[in-house]
Amino acid sequence: MSAPVIAVEDLRTHIVTRWGTIKAVDGVSFAVGEGETLGLVGESGSGKSMTCLSVLRLVPRPAARIVGGRVRLDGEDLLQKSAREMQRIRGKRVAMILQDPMSSLNPVFSVGMQVREPLISYHGLAGRALRDRAVELLGSVGISSPAARLRAFPHQLSGGMRQRVVGAMAISGPPRLLIADEPTTSLDLTIQAQYLRLLKDLQTRHRLAMIFVTHNLGIVAKMCDRVAVMYAGRIVEAGPVEALFRTPRHPYTRALLESVPRLSESTDWLTAIEGQPPDLAALPPGCAFAPRCPRVMERCRAEEPPEFTPAAGRSSRCWLEAPA
């Protein structure tokens, strides 16, 4: 991989509550290059979205604080930027598509007003040039009659069209990094497939680096070049998609893959991961997955495993990978 667009090093985000300090992001490191897609997967509460919000420095204050690490965008550490500098970076150089488009769109403003806003802020467009660029953006994400849609309000559009509007706003920079946080969850399967193709086309056209957060391992196989599996605020395994799917190294990754039903097999019971994710304010000693792991050893309950490199481009936090 060439010089990465985004390089996250030992990122740590803590949330202080009355019950204790939650290590929502606990030493996360990864890098994404130009035109590459990294998938972040894991159960709810594993730290995927908080990692993305930490990259943008949008963690919920005052409870949440980024307490350590580096987030380098084209070599510049975003954690050292001022609030005003981050305002200029968000949207223009790093954009994020949220799970629910209605969380991003203001219901009282027309689509046109909201699509034009980043064009005014980032490019200083006005008049006919502003309107033409807004129409062009809506057309580029597959919205029919884009000029007419500028006058519509969010509630007048379908979920798929609202998500496309958000996509148009996200690429208006165009950004160097696009973060898609479960953008297809609220879409039906037909619209979901169309939206995934759209994201791939946009990435190819603009050479975007992309972080794709999802629970759907099928989408990971379709969209991503590499995948990082998160559990209890940490990346427990990472590697190229095909290699990780064929030979998962961590028991948690293996359990996630085994829980996906296969149409080619007949079964009476779906495979599930026993137990519940741990309380991040009171993590057990040793490996956080040990209480649920079918291959747990005494060492797992006593010592936290470091990151091992079982093969080129692969990493795993599991004592099973320790050198003999």
Domain of residue 16, CATH code: 3.40.50.300
Whether residue 61 is contained in a domain is answered as: yes
Element (H, E) at 111: helix 111-123
How many domains are there within the chain?
A: 1
Whether residue 266 is contained in a domain is answered as: no
| Angle formed at CA 25 by CA 24 and CA 30, multiple of 5 degrees | 155
Question: At what angle are helices 159-170 and 189-206 packed, to 10 degrees?
Answer: 10
The domain in which residue 110 lies consists of 6-260+275-310
- Quote the CA–CA distance of 184 and 199 in Å, as a whole number: 11
- Quote the CA–CA distance of 86 and 187 in Å, as a whole number: 31
Picking from 233, 212, 215, 175, the residue whose alpha carbon sits closest to that of residue 29 is 233
Whether residue 320 is contained in a domain is answered as: no
Whether residue 165 is contained in a domain is answered as: yes
Give the pLDDT band of residue 324 (cuts 50, 70, 90).
confident
Taking every pair of Cα atoms in the chain, the longest distance, rounded to a whole number of angstroms, is: 69
Whether residue 270 is contained in a domain is answered as: no
Whether residue 291 is contained in a domain is answered as: yes
pLDDT computed for residue 2 by the predictor:
63
Confirm if 7 and 44 have CB atoms less than 8 A apart.
no
pTM above 0.85, yes or no: yes
| Angle formed at CA 67 by CA 62 and CA 69, multiple of 5 degrees | 140
Whether residue 265 is contained in a domain is answered as: no
Phi, psi angle pair for 76, to nearest 5°: -95, 130
For 269-321, what is each residue's pLDDT tens digit? 778 888 899 988 888 899 999 999 999 999 999 999 999 999 999 999 999 99
